[in-house]
Chains A and B, each alone.
Chain A
Amino acid sequence: MARRLLSLIAVIGCAACSEPASTPTSPSEVTVGTQLFSGTLPVAGAKFYSYSVNTGGTVAAMLASLSPGLGGSPSTRVELGIGIPAGTGCRLLTSSVVGPALVPQLQLSQTPGVYCVSIADTGSLVSPMAFAIRISHP
């Protein structure tokens, strides 16, 4: 009886042994990466952040926040740009003067490669401002 029970357990336990191992399939959709670039923008200054695009697609940048310091105005606008790292900066392909918003403010179709997002004072800052930029890319 015990031997018959052990045989039954062995059969049940090995029911999946003869089945081929399931192979994970690659997702067909494009993976979107999101990166956050935050820091402090000095008066008359500029900063940039480099990122890699592995698959062609649309890159979007959004100035998610811009916090005024002492004497700063909440309506301050800065230049937000997307470009290619060059020299000691970011050579812009497209740019716009924007205030903080929760929608993509710049979108650009990009092939695989290294790109950058830039933020620069256009003359409206009276004190350093903290910023956060959200970058979404394939």
Chain B
Amino acid sequence: MPAYDEQFVGKVAGGGSSFYSFTVTQYGTVNITLTNVDGAFVPSTVTVGLGIGVPSGEGCATSTTVSTKAGATAQLTGTYDAGVYCAEVFDVGNLYAPANFAVTISYP
């Protein structure tokens, strides 16, 4: 049962990415939900990339990714050991203007 919820709000440019680090305190389920995408010239139904991985260098080395639209249900779910992880939002080629996004990360 996830014990922590964090909100990751940011902006991703065309061809760009943005990531957020969090610490899983014990083995369990991590849910990542892209709840909103918007912006000028950015349709709310646009598909972007969503990933989970480990912070590495100046970025997030993702191990699992999906291409998804914003929604209320977790688009990425998995079980993970305790440790530091990162959630990343990235353009998959659909953004022609910077997009604002909101992601909810739930973890034990």
Query: Which residues of chain A have a CB within 8 Å of any CB of chain B?
Result: 37, 39, 47-52, 84-88, 113-114, 116
B55 engages A85 (CB within 8 Å): yes
Q: Measured between alpha carbons, how far is A114 from B19 in the docked complex, in Å?
A: 15
The answer for the CA separation of A49 and B55 in the assembled complex, in Å, is: 8
Contacts of A87 in B (CB 8 A): 6, 8, 20-22
- Judged by a CB distance under 8 angstroms, whether B86 is at the interface is yes
Q: Return the CB mask of B49-77 against A: 1 if under 8 Å, else 0.
A: 00000111110000000000000000000
Chain B contact surface mostly: strand
Total count of chain B residues near the partner, CB < 8 A: 17
Q: Within 8 Å of chain A (Cβ to Cβ): is B78?
A: no
Q: Which residue of B23, B56, B57, B58 is within 8 Å of A86 (Cβ)?
A: B23
Q: Distance (Å) between the CB of A123 and the closest chain B CB?
A: 24
Tell me the bound Cα distance from A50 to B23 in angstroms. 14
Whether a CB of chain A sits under 8 angstroms from the CB of B10 is yes
Q: Are B58 and A85 in contact (CB under 8 A)?
A: no
Among B8, B20, B56, B86, contact of A52 (Cβ-Cβ < 8 Å): B56
Q: What is the bound-complex CA distance between A50 and B54, given in angstroms?
A: 9
- By a CB distance below 8 angstroms, the chain A residues around B13 are none
The answer to whether A113 touches B57, judged by C-beta atoms less than 8 angstroms apart, is no
Contact residues in A for B57 (Cβ distance below 8 Å): 37, 49-51
